[in-house]
Structure 1
C-alpha cells in the first residue's frame, strides 16, 4: 500500500508539473519584449513672446533628454480562459535644459526651480484575460482609435488607467469598449483626472473645472471588403462632452504601383450636462494618390457649431488636419492641406523617407468686433532607419515646423529624434 501510495503521489506530482508546464507554454512562448532608447532634442522658437508662451517673457523652449521604453507583452496560459500581463517601463533623464527654456513637454516640470526635473520613471502594468477571440485588460495602457489616441510625440508615452475589452469573434469585425479613470501624461510622474481641451479660439467654456474621472467609449471597425474599412465610435467624458465619430478608408488600386486612398471622417460633439457648452460638427477628407515611391495628398476640414472640436487634452485628435503643432479645430475654422511623401526605397535606398506638407486655415471665429482668424503651418520631415550592419534598427528623424497666425503664437520648431529598438524576446 505504501509503495502504491508513493507511486501515485509521484505520478500525480509529475502529471501536475507537466500540466503546469503545458499551461504556461504559450504564456512564455508567445511573449514579446523590446526596449527602445529614444534621444530627443526639442527646440521651439516663439517668434513673439506673449501670454501664450509657457512663461510670458519666454522667447524659446529648448531641451534635450534621453529616454528608455521597455514594452513587454506576455502570451496567454492554455485553457478555455487564458491569463496574461502587459507592461510598459519608462525612464527619462535630462541632458540639457538651460535657464528659462523649459516647457517642451519632454521632461516633468519642477515647480521649485520653474525648470524641469532631472529624471522621471514609471511602470504601467495591465492584467489580461482571454476567452475565445475576446480579451479584457485591466490596468495601465495606451489607446489608438477614433475616440482616443494616446500621445507618443515626446520622450515618453502617455498612459491611461482603464478597463478595456476587445472582441474579434466575427471575421473582419473588431469591437471594443473601455472605461478610463485617470491619465499619466507624457511629462508627468502622477496619474490625474482627465481634462477636456479648451482655451485659444476653440470657444469651449466649462463650469466647475475642466476635468473628469470618467471617460467611456464603445465602437469598432469593420472590413467591408479588402479595399474598404469603416468605423464608428461613441465616447463620453462625463459631464463635459459626448461624441459620435464615423470614418471610412478606401484604397483603390489603379494599376502598376498606383493607388488612390480616400480617408473620410465625421464627428458630432455635444455637451454632457451643464458643465460645458460643447457643440461642434467636424468633417474631414484626405485623398492621396500613390505612384511608385511618390504620394500626393489633398485634405479638407471644416468646423461648424458653437464651439471648436472637443477631445481629451494632450491626446492626438481624430482630425485629418491634425499635424505637428496645430489641429485646425477652432470654432468655424475651414482648413486645407497639400502633402507630398517620397519613399527612397523605390530608387534603391530602403529606410529613407521624406515628407512635406502645407496647411492653411481661415474663417476662425475670434469673437465680436474682431476680424476672422487665419493661420498656416508648414511641416518637413526626413527619416532614415538603418537596414543592416551594426546600426540596424537605428532611426534618425528630423522634424521641422513653422506656424503663423493672427490669434496665437508664431512658432518655428525643430525636433531631432534618434531611436534604437532592441528585441529582447
Structure 2
C-alpha cells in the first residue's frame, strides 16, 4: 500500500519482492498515448511451508501445507491521448504454474488447491481497464482495479495478486490533497482456495463495495487520512489515521502512526460491530529502526475483513491480532546492512504478544507470534535486481482462538521484474 498513513516505518522494513501495481490512483501528465506507455513483466517463485504443530494438526487434520509455484504478471499501462480529456487503457495478465504439490500438503493459497485436491497444473487470467485523465488532475477508470487504501485493498501476499472490477475516480487538484471514490461489483481471487489468516469472521461474498476517502498532507511531516466504505449486506466501515514524523537530530528520526477503524453491522446478524485502534512509534537511528506498537479491539466482535491487508500495526505475517477484545503489543527491529557495506541486504525481526481474547463466556486467552525477514537484492552482474526473501513465522495459540492452532511457517521467495517499455 502506498497511502501516506500506512506505517511510515515501512520504509525501514524488508522489501517483499517486486511490487505488482496497476496505475489506478495517479494521474499522469499527458505525454501521449504511446510516449506515456509502460510495460513490465514480473516473476515470483515461492515455496510456502506451513507446519501445524498442535497435536493432530489443524482442525481439518492436516499436519502441514507445502507447495511450490512460479507466477508471472504482465502489466501494460498506456499513456493518455493529448488534450483536456486524455484517454487510455491498461491490461494485466497473470499466470501461475504449479511446481510441486501433493493432495496431503495442498491449500497454501499460492495455488487453486485444497487439502485432498492438488488442483490444476496452471491457472491464468487477463483483465483490462479503460481510463480518462481530465485536466491532468482527475482520473476516471472502469475495469480492473488493484485498490490500495485502508478500507479496500488487494492481496499480493501469495503468488499472484487478486483484483477488483468496477469503476473509480481520483482527484489531486488541491496541493497536498488526494481524494478517491469507487464502486466495485466483483472481486477475483487468483487462487480460489485462498484462506485468509484473519481469525475473525470473514465474508465469503463481499463483492459489491463502495468507498470514499483520501489523504491530506499538512506538511512534509504531518498527514491525515479519512475513509468510509460500505460492503453490501455486511458492514459499514470508517477509518481515521494520523501520521507524524520529526527529525530529532542528524541521523535520528521519530515517526508515529495512529489509526482507528469503526465498523457497524449491516448484515442483520450483529456479527460485525467492532472498534479497532493501533498506535505505532518508530525510532530511526541511521541504518537501525526500533518500533513499538499497541493494538486494541473493542465492540461486540472481532475485526472482520475480506481484503488483502488492513492498516493496523499488529496485522503481521500470519495473525492480525483482531479477535474479540484482544489487546496486543509489538516490539520490532530493522537493520539495513548497507551500514556494514552490504547494500541490498536487510533484516527485520518482531515479536507480538496478546491477551484478553474473549474465547468463551468467562474465558480469556492470549497468543504470540515471532517473525523474521531476511531480504537481499542482487546489486550487480547478470542477476542484478533479483530479490531473495526468506520469511519465517512462529505462532503459538490455542485451537479455541484459531482452528489452525500452533504454527511454524516459512516462505522462500525469488522475484524479478523486467522493464519492457
TM-score norm. by structure 2 comes to 0.88
Match for residue 300 of structure 1? Answer: 294
Tell me, which stretches of 5 or more residues in structure 2 are unaligned? 1-29
Is 1:404 the counterpart of 2:408 in the alignment?
A: no
Matched, 1:377 2:369: yes
Asked if the contact 2:52/2:58 (under 8 Å) is kept, the reply is no
Match of 1:33 in 2: 39
- Structure 1 residues 410 and 281, CA, compared in 2 at 3 Å: closer, same or farther? same
Higher helix share: 1
Task: Tell which has more relative contact order, 1 or 2 (C-alpha 8 A, sep 6+).
Answer: 2
Query: Are the aligned partners of 1:154 and 1:186 in contact in 2 as well (CA < 8 Å)?
Result: no
Asked if residue 65 in structure 1 is aligned to residue 58 in structure 2, the reply is no
Given the alignment of the two structures, is residue 424 of structure 1 paired with residue 420 of structure 2, yes or no? yes
Counterpart of 2:130? 127
Q: How many residues align?
A: 387
1:345 aligns with 2:348: no
State the TM-score, normalized to the length of structure 1: 0.87
Name which of 146, 155, 158 aligns with 1:142: 146
Report what 1:88 is aligned to.
92
- Partner Cα distance (1:110, 1:356) in 2: 31
1:387 — aligned with what?
Answer: 379
Q: Distance in 1 between matches of 2:58 and 2:264?
A: 27
5+ residue gaps, structure 1: 1-23
Deviation of 1:183 (Å):
0.9
Question: What does residue 4 of structure 2 align with?
Answer: none
Shift of residue 293, structure 1, vs aligned partner: 0.3
Instruction: Give the CA deviation at 1:310.
Output: 2.7
Find the aligned partners of 2:206 and 2:107 in 1 and give their Cα distance: 24
For 2:198 and 2:251, the matched residues in 1 are separated by 45
Match of 1:287 in 2: 281
Deviation, structure 1 residue 62: 0.1
- Measured after TM superposition, the shift of residue 51 of structure 1 is 8.2
Match of 2:311 in 1: 318
Instruction: Measure how far apart 1:57 and its partner are.
Output: 2.1
The answer as to 2:38 corresponding to 1:44 is no
Cα distance in 2 for partners of 1:36, 1:366 equals 43
Q: Report Cα offsets for 1:338-373 as digits up to 9, x if no partner.
A: 00000111222111100000000110001225x212
Which whole-Å CA distance do the structure 2 matches of 1:145 and 1:296 have between them? 25
What is the alpha-carbon distance in structure 2 between the residues aligned to residue 385 and residue 199 of structure 1?
A: 30
Query: Is the 1:120–1:189 contact (alpha carbons within 8 Å) kept by the matching residues of 2?
Result: no
| Secondary structure in 2 matching 1:346 | helix
1:274 corresponds, among 239, 262, 268, to 268
**Partners of 2:254 and 2:198 in 1: how far apart?**
37
1:163 aligns with 2:167: yes
Q: 1:248 aligns with which of 239, 242, 251?
A: 242
Deviation at 1:314, TM superposition (A): 4.5
Alignment match, 1:114: 117
Q: Which residue of 2 aligns with 1:214?
A: 208
Q: Decide whether aligned partners of structure 1 residues 385 and 295 sit closer, same or farther in structure 2, where only a CA change above 3 A counts.
A: same
Per the TM alignment, residue 212 of structure 1 is displaced from its structure 2 partner at its CA by: 4.1
- The equivalent residue for 1:17 is none
Q: 1:307 deviation in Å?
A: 0.6
